[in-house]
Amino acid sequence: MSATPRTPSSVLIIGSGVFGLSTAYALATNPKYKETDITLVDRSDFPSRDSSSIDTSRIIRPDYADPAYAALANRAQELWRSSEWGANGRYTETGLCITADAGGTNYGIQSLKNVREMEAKRLSPDAKVTRKESRGFGKPVIEVLDTEEDLRRVLGTGGTNGVQGYVNWSSGWGDAEACMEYLYQKVARTQRVRFVSGTVSRLDIDHSSTTKIIRGALLNDGRHLSAEFTILAAGAWTAALLDLRGIAQSNAQIVSYITISEREQRALEKMPTALNLTTGLFVISPSAKHIKLARHGHGYTNPTTIPHPELPLEEAYHNPINVSLPRTHLTDPPLPDYLPAEATADLRKLCTDLYPPGAAPHDKTFSPLPIAQRPFAGTRLCYYTDRPHGEFLIDYHPSYDGSLFVVTGGSGHGFKFMPIIGDVIVQCIEGQTPPEFKEKWKWPEQRVPEDQWVGDGSRGGAKGMVLEEEYKKGGKARL
């Protein structure tokens, strides 16, 4: 495989999520690409209302079991904390409480070890206090929580989400939609990127010679976008454009919201995000008078039969493949306005455990119902693009002679890297992948059947659920 020219005359980026927008910004502000035409195409005008990153909040943390990701996330978080990236309410530091049921998890143990080591490097050489203590918080940055009582004290909701764990007060969360809008405006202000609204139906693959190349993309309305170099960063839709079986797979994660009053917001907004690694259930610190309940689990697959995306069109329909693709309220058929019954039950239990009636704050002038008994104000599915071991995939596709670069496999943890990931992706394009990620992010030599994937150890809950099968079991709107 030959490398793409360092300064291609034209670049097409498919997808305006975190990876795509960040890459567009990095290219547009890099002097090496000052003569390069840059086009970014997405199936919806920005912001896409069913994009995973267009949401109320995302966890921003360095709490990873893998030291390489922990260090990279720590670099990004310093920018969230101290620069314009996190300004104007885009970043809030309320802490992250990593919990588990009895027995704990290896991921949690290793994550605690990594954040402790990073925090030790920040010790003041004279006062020997941690960064937060030196800023007047008066408590350790990281606290080990051995009992449920410790968890209740830290969470301050009257309940708990697990029986043991630790809290890292230097973690936080980002206003996801506001952050994406901020990044979009940064890209637009460069006046270097042409935005195109349209659904890519296929990559434009030149099959006429032994060495195949990508010449851009074909849109479903008949338009053609040509480019010397194509970057595919289509998130959970990537599998519609490449055969990624055994490499990456889209999975749907459950999310719901409960409305609270201004008084309840003030009483609860200082609580840390609480993530139970055993169940995958988590609650992000309340914001904008809403509590977000969700599950970082193994997700639902949505098996879909499509023409083979990499064969010539006349052959593609005779050689279909089955892949998991998103189903949202904008797809055909659209997603129901409720969650499957097992999801509703799981989120209800989380809400009751964390906000038990009689113990959690309750503004009776706002609602006669305690928080745990209120109906969901909204529900949605958030799509991850998973990999066998939870790694990003940031590399050239080996079949297209350096004309196609693939950025996918966010695995539910790409958002927090927003301030730095675009520059890192450009490094990878230029053959300068950080050494600690060369093996992790490279195109795999073998495809691994999805039922053999082990993940990164951070997911909880049941495995093997199929979206349509779960809907057939029942569910009820807005519970």
Average pLDDT over residues 416-438: 97
The answer to whether 328 touches 50, Cβ cutoff 8 Å, is yes
Banded pLDDT at 474 (limits 50, 70, 90): confident
pLDDT of residue 428: 97
Residue 479 burial (C-beta neighbours within 10 Å; 0-12, 13-18, 19+): middle
Banded pLDDT at 52 (limits 50, 70, 90): confident
pLDDT of residue 182: 97
pLDDT tens column, 235-283: 999 999 999 999 999 999 999 999 999 999 999 999 999 999 999 999 9
Closest CA to 440 of 413, 464, 415: 413
CA distances for 477 relative to 55, 107, 342, 469, 474, angstroms: 20, 35, 13, 17, 10
Q: Does residue 208 lie within any of the structural domains?
A: yes
Q: Does residue 350 lie within any of the structural domains?
A: yes
pLDDT of residue 138: 63
pLDDT of residue 476: 61
Q: Does pLDDT of 96 surpass 50?
A: yes
* % of the chain exceeding 70 in pLDDT: 94
Q: Does residue 328 lie within any of the structural domains?
A: no
Average pLDDT over residues 323-335: 90
**Going along 43-187, which residue ranges are E strands?**
58-60, 91-92, 96-100, 142-145, 164-168, 172-174
pLDDT tens column, 101-142: 998 999 999 999 999 999 998 764 544 444 444 444 567 899
Q: Does residue 392 lie within any of the structural domains?
A: yes
Banded pLDDT at 329 (limits 50, 70, 90): confident
Q: Does pLDDT of 415 surpass 80?
A: yes
Distance (Å, whole) CA 413 – CA 440 = 15
Q: Does residue 415 lie within any of the structural domains?
A: yes
pLDDT of residue 122: 76
The answer to whether 260 touches 366, Cβ cutoff 8 Å, is yes
* % of the chain exceeding 90 in pLDDT: 87
Average pLDDT over residues 410-432: 97
42-46, 285-289, 395-399: range with lowest mean pLDDT: 42-46
pLDDT of residue 193: 98
pLDDT of residue 233: 98
Average pLDDT over residues 431-459: 97
Banded pLDDT at 3 (limits 50, 70, 90): low
Q: Does residue 475 lie within any of the structural domains?
A: no
Closest CA to 248 of 450, 425, 413: 450
Q: Does residue 459 lie within any of the structural domains?
A: no
pLDDT of residue 46: 84
Q: Are strands 290-295 and 249-259 parallel, antiparallel or unpaired?
A: antiparallel
Q: How far is CA 283 from the centre of its chain?
A: 15
pLDDT of residue 79: 98
pLDDT tens column, 347-376: 999 999 999 999 999 999 999 999 999 999
Q: Does residue 4 lie within any of the structural domains?
A: no
Q: What angle do CA 413, 59, 148 make, to 5 degrees?
A: 115
Domain residues for the domain of 395 are 10-304+338-452
Identity of residue 85: W
Q: Does pLDDT of 49 surpass 80?
A: no
Q: Sign of the CA dihedral 76, 77, 83, 85?
A: positive
Name the domain count of the chain. Answer: 1
Percent helix, strand, coil in the chain (nearest 5)?
30, 25, 45
Q: Does pLDDT of 475 surpass 80?
A: no
Average pLDDT over residues 28-39: 97
Q: What angle do CA 284, 26, 24 make, to 5 degrees?
A: 80
pLDDT tens column, 299-314: 999 999 999 999 999 9
Q: What average pLDDT does the structure give for the chain?
A: 93
Closest CA to 91 of 421, 418, 382: 418
Average pLDDT over residues 170-186: 96
Global pTM value: 0.95
CATH of the domain at 249: 3.50.50.60
